[in-house]
Chains A and B, each alone.
Chain A
């Protein structure tokens, strides 16, 4: 099992942490956002509901925008714009 952090386009990234449980999704999400530039967008894909609440609050505190949040087939997709 491996997490995937890929550049999918100019200023867009994808972080796939499916299969990972706490605290890995939130740690990888935080570190990915640190690597990105302001205004860049990352799509985070995870399947650990407990991490979502933490990621949302982390974004709110730091000033990142959660642009989209949906659940499909047990996987949660979040689009986050770095603020």
Chain B
């Protein structure tokens, strides 16, 4: 046992040391790579916090529906509240990299597909990465075959042309005829969807709405419009709803027993809400920290952009002579904040190109995100950072265990991963990019994605409940 603990500690130091060495090598090669190094270490911090807090968006709705446990839902709402305030501070000082997303029903539908997928695979996009760090290879299946390969295939095939309305096809064709996007990059169903539908959808950010700008001049529009109205008030309402439906009855019963008199006053309910928030201290604490670190991440990336005089890492790659890595727009995927999925799609695209697949002939890689080699892909390094950060934390707590998927878990991992990959593309993001970041940034489309995600999770839980009942009935036959 002692040997195992010792071995785990050595591994934790080896992994951290290797990442420090990699960072130093990047610095030595070119100072521009410090931009990429910043992503590595923020990813590392996310990974440590996610693993320590068991922080998984899939668990938020799944454990609520499957076991009546609100631990994770509460943790996420706490993180959201802190992050929204930091986002507002950054926006008011012109140090934010946040940008709202096209608003439409597609966000809700995509969220629902993603929600089913995350329950089946056992983890959301960021949750799957931290679980890989714990040695969970079911999560690896979901991330590699779903988020990487599945997503790359999804954006490059014509398989979904039958779903494309003629209006979208005509709009996309008209844009190509006018010169942008280039016709050579308009080959897949997803390209038609992007150019024919999504690009024409309006973006909504509370602080950008004319009425809000007029009513709240200066920085108040960010704090009241983006943070208070879009994130804080809805989050508090949700906390109260969760308390009423899942906690209140049991808590008041327990409290009445302790007090020896009925517990039904407002002070009892306030105590109950506080008890719910602090029930899992490690999750809530990590919620607060994740919110703060995610804000700090934006600040650092914006600082890097100002320092190097660019707004995208693709410009630096071009300056360093790696123009083959960037898109026709000279960019690579560089969100400037915590984001998962697009970079996994890039890894999948890069691998498929090695097998002869042309991945540059679509909008996703060819025009928007580029296809950098993995070791020059900033956001992908953030994902690796999450895996290694979680691995270090799991090793330090003796929780690392290499687990190969067996039997049904292989099927759930693959199907769930593919649904997550497919569900993250139409909304241009996952539980982090399309929900967490957007809501905290004042973009109501984040709630649309979140609603879809919770609906999808409900369907996934219903399915697993039926499945496990069936299996339990077989096991119970013996007695």
Tell me how far the C-beta of B275 lies from the nearest C-beta in chain A, rounded to whole angstroms.
10
B interface footprint on A46-67 (CB within 8 Å = 1, 0 otherwise): 0111100111011011110000
Taking A22-B56, A61-B247 as contacts, is the C-beta distance between A27 and B69 under 8 angstroms? Answer: no
Number of residues on chain A facing chain B (CB within 8 A): 37
Using a CB-CB cutoff of 8 Å, which residues 6-27 of chain A contact chain B?
6-7, 19-24, 26-27
Q: Does more than half of chain B's interface fall in helix, strand or loop, or is it mixed?
A: helix
A interface footprint on B210-247 (CB within 8 Å = 1, 0 otherwise): 00000000000000000000000000000000000011
Which of A22, A32, A47, A54 contacts B472 (CB under 8 A)?
Answer: A32
Tell me how far the C-beta of A10 lies from the nearest C-beta in chain B, rounded to whole angstroms.
12
Q: Are B58 and A54 in contact (CB under 8 A)?
A: no
Using a CB-CB cutoff of 8 Å, which residues 420-479 of chain B contact chain A?
461, 464-465, 468-469, 471-472, 475-476, 478-479
**Taking the complex as formed, is B23 at the interface, i.e. its CB lies under 8 A from any CB of chain A?**
no
Q: Are B131 and A31 in contact (CB under 8 A)?
A: no
A55 to B138, CA, bound (A): 21
Q: Are A1 and B122 in contact (CB under 8 A)?
A: no
Q: Are B282 and A27 in contact (CB under 8 A)?
A: no
Q: Are B472 and A23 in contact (CB under 8 A)?
A: no
Using a CB-CB cutoff of 8 Å, which residues 58-83 of chain A contact chain B?
58, 60-63, 71-74
A23 to B122, CA, bound (A): 6
B contact residues around A24 at 8 Å (CB): 122, 464, 468
Number of residues on chain B facing chain A (CB within 8 A): 51
**CB within 8 Å of B: which residues of A?**
1-7, 19-24, 26-28, 30-32, 35, 47-50, 53-55, 57-58, 60-63, 71-74
Residue pairs across A and B with Cβ atoms less than 8 A apart, 16 shown, are: A21-B131, A22-B123, A23-B66, A24-B468, A26-B67, A27-B66, A27-B67, A31-B469, A48-B136, A49-B134, A49-B397, A55-B67, A60-B279, A61-B69, A73-B1, A74-B401
**CB within 8 Å of A: which residues of B?**
1, 4, 54, 56, 58-59, 62-63, 66-69, 71-72, 119, 122-123, 131, 134, 136, 138-139, 246-247, 250, 279-280, 282-283, 394, 397-401, 403, 406-409, 461, 464-465, 468-469, 471-472, 475-476, 478-479
